[in-house]
Amino acid sequence: MINYILILSISFIVTLSSTPLVIKISYKKGALDYPNDRLLKIHSRPVPILGGIAISFGLFSSWLLISVLFKALQQEIFGLFLAFLLVLLFGLFDDIRGMNPGYRFLGQFVAAIIVIFVSKITVNLIPYWYVSIPVTIFYLVASTNSINLLDGLDGLATGSTLIASGGFLLAFILEENVLGIVISVSIIGMTAGFLFFNFNPAKIFLGDNGSTLLGFLLGVLAVLFSSKPYSLIHFVVPILILAVPILDTGLAISRRILKNRQVFHGDRDHFYDQLMRKGFSQKQTALITYLFGLLGAIAGISFMLS
């Protein structure tokens, strides 16, 4: 328990203390999101977009501590470090220079391969490699992009990731899965520290570099929990915990296909946009979304205990 508290504290403190520095660097380097598209952007002033760097400081610091405290997990942590670093770099390039979606998916695919073959983590619901490997890649890539789609309001993706990680933490505690526990704890500390600056009015955005990193992290938690063969619980629980991003992604893809729009072209018709059109503020919309996420996590844990 002391080790878990240390990991949580390091992740939280490092992220909390490093984010103001990243904000200053963002302004100095001009790494800002300008409100130059009134159809897609609702903020009124330029906002730093290097959130992924800020959260990675807390994440990687806590993982270094995990490698010291839990030596048996060093290979898994090393592989995850490489994968997340790749996702972060691709996200940064996309934010600063712009990137074809195909290249972005390629980076996420390679990161998923690293998780599978270096960290040896796969979805094992159907324990055959020709099933588990493609399904694992799907889980990781789909989760990565679902959080990216959810990142449309201040604090929405960060807070939703915090709540989902809390749900996974409880699930892994019930499973006595140490790797799942330490990763969940590190994500909770990191997102809690960043949310101080990311909640409305946001002083810094996640950017694609941050939102894809959070999505990949949640994907890893889902894959880790789905490692038991032929288990209904280990299939359903991650879906319930991640119900908000899964539902939003499904609706977004369906909506864009029905309207003959490009699937990867953004819009302001997400469920949270609909809430704001009903008169809710950004803060209220974020809190309502958090509530839905919390209900999903409670449903997942209840399903395990039933």
**Mean pLDDT (the chain, rounded):** 92
pLDDT-derived band at 287 (thresholds 50, 70, 90) equals: very high
Segment 79-89 shows an average pLDDT of 96
Cβ neighbours of 257 (radius 10 Å): 11
pLDDT-derived band at 264 (thresholds 50, 70, 90) equals: low
pLDDT-derived band at 38 (thresholds 50, 70, 90) equals: low
**How far is Cα 247 from Cα 240, in angstroms, rounded to an integer?**
10
Q: What is the CA radius of gyration of the chain?
A: 18
pLDDT-derived band at 69 (thresholds 50, 70, 90) equals: very high
Using alpha carbons, list the distances in angstroms from residue 179 to 130, 136, 166, 169. Answer: 25, 17, 14, 10
Give pLDDT tens digits for 187-208.
999 999 999 999 999 999 999 9
DSSP summary character for residue 259: T
Q: 227 versus 241: which is more confidently predicted?
A: 241
Token pair for 288:
């309502």
Share of residues in the chain with pLDDT > 90 (%): 79
| pLDDT on residue 255 | 81
Residues sharing a CB contact under 8 Å with residue 151, sequence separation 6 or more, in sequence order? 157, 205, 206, 210, 211
**How far is Cα 73 from Cα 83, in angstroms, rounded to an integer?**
16
**How far is Cα 45 from Cα 28, in angstroms, rounded to an integer?**
16
pLDDT-derived band at 128 (thresholds 50, 70, 90) equals: very high
**How far is Cα 271 from Cα 252, in angstroms, rounded to an integer?**
9
User: 211 pLDDT exceeds 80?
Assistant: yes
pTM: 0.94
Q: 265 versus 78: which is more confidently predicted?
A: 78
pLDDT-derived band at 174 (thresholds 50, 70, 90) equals: very high
Q: 251 versus 243: which is more confidently predicted?
A: 243
